[in-house]
Amino acid sequence: MSGVRRFAPSAAGDFGWDGVERLRYKDEGLAPFRDITRQVLFAQPDQDCELRYFEIAPGGYSTLERHEHTHAVLILRGRGTVHLGAREEPVAEHDLVTVDPLTWHQFRADAGCALGLLCLVSKTRDRPQLPTEEEAERLRRG
Ligand code: MN
């Protein structure tokens, strides 16, 4: 639908686009994550992609996962860290993070700062794989 939507804080203080429903990041208990909301900004029948916005509250994080499909992630606001493959990198507003197939990735907001990111993803995509406890420990150690 043609239109202009404004990016603004909600009453709760997290940012997002007015008039776009704020959804759970994923179903509770499906995978570990903390303090994230999700908005689907653009998903149309003629497009094979979806544009989503995730806002991670201070100290929150996305699920550590990997999958065959790729991501393009544009940091829109705040600061945090991305775990990408075997390394950790600080990220801030306007950084572009690309994630190749089967690359472990996780986004974390800094303790004192939210992290908001736009994520472009294919509409048809495989399910994320989660690390085993052993893999997760190895990834944490780097
Ligand atoms: Mn992912």
pLDDT in tens, 72-129: 999 999 999 999 998 999 999 999 999 999 999 999 999 999 999 999 999 999 999 9
**Quick check: 25 pLDDT over 70?**
yes
Q: Is the Cβ–Cβ distance between 49 and 124 less than 8 Å?
A: no
- Percent of the chain residues topping a pLDDT of 70: 96
Who has greater pLDDT, 101 or 2?
101
Catalytic residues: 119
Interval between CA 74 and ligand 1 midpoint (Å): 13
Domain boundaries, the chain: 15-141
Instruction: Assess whether pLDDT exceeds 80 at residue 138.
Output: yes
Could you tell me the distance, in angstroms and rounded to a whole number, from the CA of residue 105 to the centre of ligand 1? Answer: 7
Q: How many CB atoms lie within 10 A of CB 92?
A: 13
Q: How far is the CA of 91 from the centre of ligand 1 (A)?
A: 16
> How far does residue 66's CA lie from ligand 1's centre (Å)?
6
How many CA atoms does the CB half-sphere of 123 hold within 13 Å?
10
Q: What is the pLDDT of residue 48?
A: 95
Whether the CB-CB separation of 20 and 41 falls below 8 Å is answered with yes
Fold of domain 15-141: Jelly Rolls (2.60.120)
Distance (angstroms) between ligand 1 centre and the Cα of 109 equals 16
11's CB contacts (< 8 A; 6+ apart) are: none
Residue with tokens 């303090």: 35
**Global pTM?**
0.91
How many whole angstroms from 130 Cα to the centroid of ligand 1?
Answer: 10
Please say if the pLDDT value at position 40 is more than 90.
yes
- What confidence score (pLDDT) does residue 10 get? 85
